[in-house]
């Protein structure tokens, strides 16, 4: 029996370092440090990609966009998200909704969430009402609390096309 609904979970983490831009949810946020990585290191979009790929049992972001491939060096993660959505639809699924959380001590994320939702909805072919983004701190605990990095968690619901 084929179940028409599937859920997936995604997680990503990157170090905060000087000399990088801070990209979250497809937008550039002013801050003295940015996230370091092979691509633009957008932890939110990477977590969403992994949630979608996991829901469809298509592996993870590293399988489809490996950090060893120089074609993805410095790439805009919105491109990775768009390609991930195409993979999901090619596999016969539609995206129901996304629920994500960003853990960061600074800068303040909440003022940027409406713009993130708008950009992500455009890239994914969804409405902003189908995307939930929340932000939290770790109460100054761990690497996030010490402002050494950021992490993001995401869940995705997909449905088999009839």
Binding residues for a divalent metal cation: 12, 14, 46
Residue 5 phi/psi, 5-degree rounding, is -115, 140
Instruction: Give the phi and the psi of residue 20 in degrees, each rounded to 5.
Output: -120, 150
Binding region: 12-14, 38-39, 46, 60-62, 136-139, 143, 146
What element of type H or E holds 86? helix 77-90
Give, as one character, the DSSP assignment of residue 38.
Answer: S
User: Helix, strand or coil for residue 41?
Assistant: coil
Q: What are phi and psi of 138, to 5 degrees?
A: -115, 25
């Amino acid at each position: 029996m084929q179940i028409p609904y599937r859920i997936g979970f995604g997680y990503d983490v990157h170090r905060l370092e000087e000399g990088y831009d801070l990209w979250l949810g497809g937008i550039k946020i002013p801050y003295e440090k940015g996230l370091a990585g092979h691509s633009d290191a957008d932890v939110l979009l990477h977590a969403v990609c992994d949630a979608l790929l996991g829901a469809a049992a298509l592996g993870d972001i590293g399988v489809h966009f490996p950090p060893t491939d120089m074609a993805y060096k410095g790439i805009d993660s919105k491109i990775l998200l768009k390609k991930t959505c195409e993979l999901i639809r090619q596999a016969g699924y539609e995206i129901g909704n996304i629920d994500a959380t960003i853990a960061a001590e600074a800068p303040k994320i909440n003022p940027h969430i409406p713009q993130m939702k708008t950009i992500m909805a455009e890239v994914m072919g969804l409405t902003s009402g189908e995307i939930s983004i929340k932000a939290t701190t770790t109460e100054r605990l761990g690497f996030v609390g010490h402002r050494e990095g950021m992490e993001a968690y995401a869940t995705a619901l997909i449905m088999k096309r009839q």
